[in-house]
A and B are shown apart, each in its own frame.
Chain A
Amino acid sequence: DARVTQTPRHKVTEMGQEVTMRCQPILGHNTVFWYRQTMMQGLELLAYFRNRAPLDDSGMPKDRFSAEMPDATLATLKIQPSEPRDSAVYFCASGLAGWDRVNTEAFFGQGTRLTVV
């Protein structure tokens, strides 16, 4: 049963603490996205990777957010230091992008609900 797995599902932390969210993409997928769901922005793209290389992280606050793919089976999103305005649901999605743009849909994990108090 191929699926995107995100951990933790819920995280409550105090302002100023470091938060790490993890994502295991579907095996064989070469593209990984990080999104944040907010009421005002909908699904906001934070960063995405192709073949583990970061292609675009312009959606992330650079001073506190960082995204990495240490290997093909793990993507991480870190916030340091965290702030109350970071409270949201963070989604990871993976997909397969080829030269012909076939299989362009992305498959989402269940998300990490982050609350910063």
Chain B
Amino acid sequence: DQQVKQNSPSLSVQEGRISILNCDYTNSMFDYFLWYKKYPAEGPTFLISISSIKDKNEDGRFTVFLNKSAKHLSLHIVPSQPGDSAVYFCAAKADKLIFGTGTRLQVFP
């Protein structure tokens, strides 16, 4: 059973606009949530995280929102840039780190 779900396998956004990537989870014991970015032929790299005691964390163009009651988190990228084109994984932690299936973001000019 998939404890962390990313229901959109792909997303296409115009440069300069907002990208919103979504993630749902089922385990209420998760206490930390992370987003990773992956380029082809490379390992995932950490992007931004949020503790379960917060509902928002911002780092430059990236903001992660957490809605614990809905067991939902989202990553907002504003403004989107062509270099943001990659696969984005959300992950949830309760000791071990569980990843979703990823969303491929394409930012076009």
**Bound together:** yes
Which A residues form the contact surface with B (CB < 8 A)?
4, 33, 35, 40-45, 48, 55-56, 91, 93, 95, 97, 101, 104-111
Task: Tell me the smallest distance from the CB of A57 to a CB of chain B, in Å.
Answer: 11
Q: A42-B89, A42-B100 are in contact. Are A108 and B44 (CB under 8 A)?
A: yes
Q: What CA separation (Å) do A110 and B41 show in the bound complex?
A: 7
B99 x A104 contact (CB < 8 A): no
B96 surroundings in chain A (CB, below 8 A)? 33, 45, 48, 55-56
A41 surroundings in chain B (CB, below 8 A)? 101
The residue that A42 contacts in the complex, of B45, B46, B97, B99, with Cβ under 8 A, is B99
Report how many residues on chain B are interfacial, defined by Cβ distance under 8 Å.
Answer: 23
Q: Is there a chain A Cβ closer than 8 Å to B32's Cβ? A: yes
B102 surroundings in chain A (CB, below 8 A)? 42-43
Q: A43-B44, A111-B43 are in contact. Are A105 and B34 (CB under 8 A)?
A: yes
Q: What CA separation (Å) do A55 and B41 show in the bound complex?
A: 29
A55 surroundings in chain B (CB, below 8 A)? 95-96
B43 x A91 contact (CB < 8 A): yes
Q: A35-B99, A42-B99, A45-B96 are in contact. Are A91 and B44 (CB under 8 A)?
A: yes
Which of B43, B91, B101 has the most C-beta atoms of chain A within 10 angstroms of its own C-beta? B43
Chain B positions 82 through 104: 1 when the CB is less than 8 Å from some CB of chain A, otherwise 0 = 00000001010101111111100
Q: What CA separation (Å) do A110 and B91 show in the bound complex?
A: 18
